[in-house]
Amino acid sequence: MIAADTQTSAKISLEIRPTHSLELYQFCEVLMNAADRFEGKDDVQWECDQITPHHLLARHRLDELILAFSGKIAVAAMILKEQNPSLPYNFDDGDKALYIEKLSVHSDYASTGISQQMVDYAMLKAQRSGANLLHLVCNGRGKSLCSTLNRLGFVAVEHFKSSEASHRYFRLSL
């Protein structure tokens, strides 16, 4: 999921880094803010029980939970990891990717270009790890989401159904 974020000319200075253990609740708060924005809409991103500290830590390492801070305020979050075994596709030989999940910008900071900065951070991490692809998996199907992801350089590749929901898969070649 990526909460819609249309870029403006003002760029907010961010510190983007892995979440520290004492910041886990801040990470969840950013995701909850995004979930609240989509509640009751057709473009539901995830259920609230999927973004609790317990659920996240059962599925992801703490260093995969990335937070962006403006000063001391957590303004964006994403999961960035090297593997996603649940995806039903194969890479071309030699392709290596990093995976983005639950990319979210707090509603108070929407339309400030933060999603671009988060993707730029992910691209840099991917390049440093030797990856040539960045993948984003989300539940969203809305036009605003697709427009934002296209603006960020992602191309919609396919839809697939997992045990939990229907997903869209986007790909960005580095």
pLDDT tens by residue, the chain, 174 residues:
444 444 444 678 999 999 999 999 999 999 999 888 766 555 556 777 889 999 999 999 999 999 999 999 999 999 999 877 566 555 565 688 899 999 999 999 988 999 999 999 999 999 999 999 998 987 666 677 788 888 999 998 866 555 555 667 889 999
Residue 107 maps to a domain: yes
Domain holding 163, by residue range, is 15-173
Closest CA to 23 of 78, 49, 70, 62: 62
User: What φ, ψ does residue 171 adopt, rounded to 5°?
Assistant: -135, 140
Q: Pairing mode, if any, of strands 97-105 and 73-81?
A: antiparallel
Look up the CATH number of the domain holding residue 156: 3.40.630.30
Q: How many domains does the chain have?
A: 1
Instruction: Find all residues with CB under 8 Å of 101, minimum gap 6, and list them.
Output: 1, 78, 79, 81, 84, 136, 137, 138
CA–CA separation, 112 and 12 (whole Å): 7
Tell me the two tokens of residue 23: 């910041």
